[in-house]
């Protein structure tokens, strides 16, 4: 353990309200917009999920963390753990920018769990002082490896690759290694920006986790953005999925409306021989979703978590800034491929968490809890549902359009409208957690995620439609669990 980490641990020890199992922890976690079932930073700024994994019965999530400033800054890795993917305990700040190779930020990366160790691969960011464009000149992006036993302390750190080890034709923007093992070989994928400003993904392989050989570059025939961040590559239901977060993709009707995107495509015949097909599936149609990453749970589920935010979005004012923190991660989502579409559904642990359920027929109107699920069946017909007095979901059967609209600009922190053609719509699940809503359509074929900032008295639903019926569910403390059967 190095000096900076010792200093941090001393500071952390003086922050009892942040420590796991501390009676005061609830206080640090509370606050008007603090979610109950989503990862949020105790203080400061959060962005991408990093190093997702499961060790024994414990799930580990790391995240890009700037503890000292809710508007961002120098990046650390924050860490939290959970046994049910819903309730998260802050577990400290294990990765610090404390080496020449990562001194201006420990950027995003992934975890490989093997031999009782956590191998944390990440990008060490270095920015030289001077007048540089920081694209072609003035920065280093190093591929780093930190080894940890439990995710809390770091045993060793080393630099595995620097910019000169990456293939020719790239800018200095190469980052976000995701590492996995397949058929006895280790693979790594990294996002990159080429000298002619195209987003691509680089593949490497290694026999031993430490020495890496470049294999080839995954690229589209036609440009799709100038940079691909946070790539991921995994097998799912017999398909090979490539997931990337491109920057610089222009809006196209209702698609690609956010500043930056998160998309997937299927690679054929496999990632070693594929080129990337033109034509992607956008993973989320809402306002707040970026940099998703996945991991394989011990029970075989492929689980995805994303940042519930988007970088550089000028139109969004996050009301939690006033409380000294900003941003959350999405609910963990189980992935599957259904009829050629990658579907996302909240982890099944969520259904087991609700212990209260009310059913309703032909519309619904009630004061709600701050954390709940609303499951709607519209019989394929038009409907409208308004949440917190100013977030309105509408479905129009005539053209199959589902839209999400903030009628109260303050509630949406400045955002207005997102929409998607979904065709026939039959089932809608809305997960509301204090200051977030995630809306899953037709068993996860389309998802809309957004933050929102309701006044305390505004938790309310008003839903109507000719055939609208469904269930309202929530968790009541001290009531028996598992009463609901969604
Ligand atoms: C994506 C990203 C990554 C980078 C990290 C820095 O949001 O820009 O590419 O590693 O954030 O925080």
Residue 485 domain-assigned? no
**310 shares a domain with 170:** yes
CA of 323 to the centre of ligand 1 (A): 24
Pocket test for ligand 1, best of 49, 171, 178, 229 (most atoms within 8 A of CB): 229
Residue 20's SS3 state is coil
Q: Given the DSSP bridges, would you call strands 341-346 and 227-236 parallel, antiparallel or unpaired?
A: unpaired
Query: Based on the number of CB atoms within 10 Å of its own CB, is 478 exposed (0-12), middle (13-18) or buried (19 or more)?
Result: exposed
**132 shares a domain with 15:** yes
CB of 176 within 6 A of ligand 1: the answer is yes
Q: List the one residue out of 93, 165, 97, 161 whose CA is nearest residue 125.
A: 97
pLDDT in tens, 271-308: 998 889 999 999 999 999 999 999 999 999 999 999 99
**Domain region containing 388:** 353-474
How many domains, the chain?
A: 2
Residue 13 pLDDT exceeds 70: no
**342 shares a domain with 357:** no
**297 shares a domain with 204:** yes
Catalytic residue among 48, 102, 176, 288: 48
Pocket test for ligand 1, best of 46, 107, 141, 329 (most atoms within 8 A of CB): 107
Residue 5 pLDDT exceeds 70: no
Q: Which of 346, 363, 381 is the last residue of a domain?
A: 346
* Chain-centre distance for alpha carbon 89: 18
Residue 479 domain-assigned? no
Tell me, what's the pLDDT at 8? 56
**333 shares a domain with 370:** no
DSSP assignments along 330-390, one per residue: PPPEEEEEETTEEEEEE-THHHHH--EEEEEES-EEEE--SEEEEEEE-TTS-EEEEETTT
**217 shares a domain with 189:** yes
pLDDT in tens, 225-244: 999 999 999 999 999 999 99
Phi, psi of 150 (to 5 degrees): -130, 5
Ligand 1 atom nearest to CA at 75: 12
> Domain holding 243: CATH number?
2.115.10.20
Residues with Cβ within 8 Å of residue 325, at least 6 apart in sequence: 31, 40, 41, 42, 43, 44, 45, 46, 70
CB atoms within 10 A of CB 380: 14
Rounded to whole angstroms, the Cα distance separating 390 from 409 reads 8
CB of 175 within 6 A of ligand 1: the answer is yes
Q: Rounded mean pLDDT of 141-158?
A: 97
**208 shares a domain with 64:** yes
Residue 480 domain-assigned? no
Ligand 1 atom nearest to CA at 311: 7
Answer positive or negative: Cα dihedral of 43, 47, 53, 54.
positive
Q: Rounded mean pLDDT of 60-65?
A: 98
Q: Which of 319, 346, 373 is the last residue of a domain?
A: 346
Query: Is the N-terminal amide bond of 342 cis, ω within 30° of 0?
Result: no
Residue 484 domain-assigned? no
**84 shares a domain with 59:** yes
**420 shares a domain with 377:** yes
Rounded to whole angstroms, the Cα distance separating 152 from 162 reads 26
Residue 10's SS3 state is helix
**244 shares a domain with 101:** yes
CB of 310 within 6 A of ligand 1: the answer is no
Residue 481 domain-assigned? no
CB of 289 within 6 A of ligand 1: the answer is no
Q: What percent of the chain has pLDDT over 90?
A: 89
**263 shares a domain with 204:** yes
At residue 344's C-alpha, the angle toward residues 186 and 377, to 5°, is: 170
pLDDT in tens, 248-273: 999 999 999 999 999 999 999 999 98
Rounded to whole angstroms, the Cα distance separating 319 from 440 reads 25
Q: Which of 346, 379, 399 is the last residue of a domain?
A: 346
Residue 483 domain-assigned? no
Residue 486 domain-assigned? no
Q: List the one residue out of 180, 122, 174, 124 whose CA is nearest residue 148.
A: 122
> Domain holding 466: CATH number?
2.60.120.560
**383 shares a domain with 342:** no
Residue 237 domain-assigned? yes
CA of 171 to the centre of ligand 1 (A): 16
Task: Note if 48 is an active site residue.
Answer: yes
CB of 125 within 6 A of ligand 1: the answer is no
Residue 1 pLDDT exceeds 60: no
Rounded to whole angstroms, the Cα distance separating 395 from 437 reads 17
Q: Given the DSSP bridges, would you call strands 44-55 and 325-326 parallel, antiparallel or unpaired?
A: parallel
CB of 75 within 6 A of ligand 1: the answer is yes
Which residues sit opposite 334 in a β-bridge? 303, 345
Which residues sit opposite 312 in a β-bridge? none
pLDDT in tens, 333-369: 999 999 999 999 999 999 999 999 999 998 899 999 9
pTM, two decimal places = 0.94
């Amino acid at each position: 353990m190095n000096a900076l980490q010792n200093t941090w641990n001393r500071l952390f020890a003086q922050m009892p309200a942040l420590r796991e199992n501390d009676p005061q922890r609830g206080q640090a976690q509370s606050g008007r917009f603090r979610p109950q079932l989503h990862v949020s930073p105790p203080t400061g700024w959060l962005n991408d999920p990093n190093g997702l994994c499961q060790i024994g019965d414990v799930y580990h999530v790391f995240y890009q963390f700037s503890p000292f400033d809710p508007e961002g800054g120098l990046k650390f890795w924050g860490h939290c753990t959970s046994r049910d993917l819903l309730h998260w305990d802050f577990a400290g700040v294990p990765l610090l920018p404390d080496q020449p190779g990562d001194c201006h930020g420990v950027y995003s990366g992934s975890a490989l769990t093997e031999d009782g160790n956590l191998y944390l691969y990440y990008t060490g960011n270095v920015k030289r002082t001077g007048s540089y464009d920081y694209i072609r000149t003035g920065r280093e992006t190093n591929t780093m490896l930190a080894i940890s036993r439990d995710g809390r302390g770091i045993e060793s750190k080393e630099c595995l690759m620097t910019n000169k080890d990456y293939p020719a034709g790239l800018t200095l923007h190469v980052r976000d290694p995701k590492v996995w093992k397949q058929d006895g070989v280790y693979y790594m994928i990294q996002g990159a920006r080429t000298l002619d400003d195209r987003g691509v993904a680089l593949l490497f392989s290694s026999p031993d986790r430490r020495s890496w050989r470049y294999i080839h570059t995954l690229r589209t025939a036609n440009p799709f953005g100038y940079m691909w961040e946070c790539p991921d590559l995994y097998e799912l239901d017999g398909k090979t999925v490539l997931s990337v977060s491109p920057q610089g993709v222009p809006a196209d009707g209702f698609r690609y409306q956010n500043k930056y995107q998160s998309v997937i495509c299927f690679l054929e015949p496999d990632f070693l021989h594929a080129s990337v097909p033109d034509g992607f599936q956008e993973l989320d149609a809402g306002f707040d979703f970026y940099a998703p990453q996945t991991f394989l749970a011990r029970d075989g589920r492929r689980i995805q978590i994303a940042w519930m935010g988007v970088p550089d979005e000028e139109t969004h004012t996050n009301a939690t800034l006033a409380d000294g923190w900003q941003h959350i991660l999405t609910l963990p989502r189980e992935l599957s491929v259904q009829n050629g579409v990658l579907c996302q559904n909240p982890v099944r642990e969520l259904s087991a968490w609700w212990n209260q359920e009310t059913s309703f027929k032909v519309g619904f109107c009630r004061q709600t809890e701050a954390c709940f699920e609303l499951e709607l069946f519209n019989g394929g017909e038009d409907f409208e549902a308004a949440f917190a007095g100013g977030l309105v979901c509408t479905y129009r059967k005539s053209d199959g359009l589902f839209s999400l609209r903030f009628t109260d600009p303050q509630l949406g922190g400045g955002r207005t409208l997102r929409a998607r053609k979904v065709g026939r719509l039959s089932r809608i699940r809305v997960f509301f957690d204090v200051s977030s809503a995630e809306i899953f359509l037709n068993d996860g074929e389309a998802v809309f995620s957004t933050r929102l900032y309701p006044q305390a008295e505004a938790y309310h639903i008003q839903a109507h439609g000719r055939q609208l019926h469904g269930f309202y569910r929530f968790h009541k403390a001290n009531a028996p669990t598992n009463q609901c059967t969604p």
